Homo-oligomer: A and B are copies of this chain.
Amino acid sequence: MSEPTPSMQVPNRVIPVPTSVSPAAQSILALGPIDQGEWPALDDTEGWLAFRASSEQLIAAALAGQLMGNDQVEDLDIDGVRIYAITPESPVADDNRVYLYFHGGGLVTGGGDCCRDFGRMTAAHTGLKVWAVDYRMPPESPYPAALDDCMVAYRALLDSYPADRILVGGASAGGNLAAALSLRARDEGLPLPAATVLLTPELDLTESGDSFQTNLGIDMVLTRSLMPANQLYAAGHDLSDPYLSPLFGDFDKGFPPTFLCTGTRDLFLSNTVRMHRILRAAGIEADLNVFEAMPHGGFMIPTPEDEDMKAEVNRFIQVHCPQP
């Protein structure tokens, strides 16, 4: 018999929209939690495909209003992996850097046009050339398909760029893949990228962090456990394997300097701050940025807070991967 887990009773509460964020951010927080319905059953392949289609439609509609500038997008096929190679409207002259970008979406959605538009936004924000990887996803292609695709893209970039000119990053599930890629590249004897950019990263598919409990019902974007998606992705692999949950990696063997950001209301707050501490303990340079009252992924519309976050990412890139 196992002991019952000691626990704390927190009474029901009314949490007002804070005055400590911008009016634009307040207008988003005032909307309250986004109803996301039920996850499909694990064996409901059609249900997962329908979930992906409808959520990608919603994401694409949300991204359509975002400014991406007059960029150029080239569709690449590298060993069967779809990659969008994006040149921003105003690239830095003679820039020899590239940003390898992995999209978010819980490892089960966010591909296709969403991936392309996320990549275009990243190019617009950073002014960098971006390779956005449209990695395979479950239910058709569970782990390790996505990470394999990311590795194909990284190896291809290494043919044209020195590793110290390559940035690797992404938000949410993209942060998972960026961290997992860095661990796997190291383990396979490849040189490490110049830096990783982990935006509110999904680093722990076991969901052991405290904020999975404390920020449940507080985060208006991630309003429930992602465990069904995690299990679909893992397809029987151990969720605590570092290639699935990079938080459990061995960072003493090396890892790139890392930018981390999250929000105080983020369900992934614990993911992010735990990664920061683990990297610092291993002597890896890591910069933590936590935004007031921000839910998972930002405030979804242009806000001063989101502008601040982008500026902070660019400062970090300029320090760790400067254009000479």
Docked pose: A280 CA to B305 CA in angstroms: 13
Q: In the complex, which residues of chain B have a beta carbon less than 8 angstroms from the beta carbon of A11? A: 12, 217
A14 pairs with B9, CB closer than 8 A: yes
Q: Which residues of chain B are near A269, meaning CB under 8 Å?
A: 264, 290
Copies per assembly: 2
Most chain B CB atoms below 10 A, which of A6, A14, A214? A214
Question: Does A191 touch B at the CB level, under 8 Å?
Answer: no
Shortest C-beta distance, A259 to chain B (Å), equals 12
- List the B residue with the shortest CB-CB distance to A26: B6
- List residues 257-290 of chain A with CB under 8 A from any CB of chain B: 264-265, 269-270, 273-274, 276-277, 280-281, 288-290
- B265 A291 Cβ-Cβ under 8 A: no
Q: In the complex, which residues of chain B have a beta carbon less than 8 angstroms from the beta carbon of A216?
A: 13
Asked if residues B14 and A8 are in contact (CB atoms below 8 Å), the reply is yes
State in angstroms the CA–CA spacing of A12 and B15 once bound together. 12
The answer to whether A10 and B213 have CB atoms under 8 Å apart is: no
Pick from B19, B30, B291: contact of A277, CB below 8 A: B291
CA distance A269 to B211 in the complex (A): 13
Q: Which residues of B contact A241 (CB under 8 A)?
A: none
A274-B292, A291-B277, A308-B281 known; A210+B10 contact, CB < 8 A:
no
Flag if B264 contacts A210 (CB, 8 Å).
yes
A213 to B292, CA, bound (A): 12
Are A276 and B264 neighbours in the complex by a CB distance under 8 Å?
Answer: no
CA gap between A290 and B210 in the complex, in Å: 13
Minimum C-beta distance from A199 to chain B (A): 16
Contact status B7-A214, CB under 8 Å:
no
By a CB distance below 8 angstroms, the chain B residues around A264 are: 210-211, 214, 269-270, 273
Interchain CB contact under 8 A, B308 and A277: yes
A/B interface sample: 14 pairs, CB < 8 A? A8-B29, A9-B13, A10-B14, A13-B216, A13-B217, A18-B208, A18-B209, A18-B213, A20-B209, A20-B210, A273-B290, A276-B290, A280-B289, A288-B288
Q: Which residues from chain A sit less than 8 Å from chain B, CB to CB?
A: 5-21, 29-30, 32-33, 208-211, 213-218, 220, 264-265, 269-270, 273-274, 276-277, 280-281, 288-293, 308, 312
A sample of 6 more A-B contacts (CB under 8 A), given A277-B308, A290-B290, is A12-B12, A15-B213, A18-B210, A214-B265, A264-B273, A270-B293
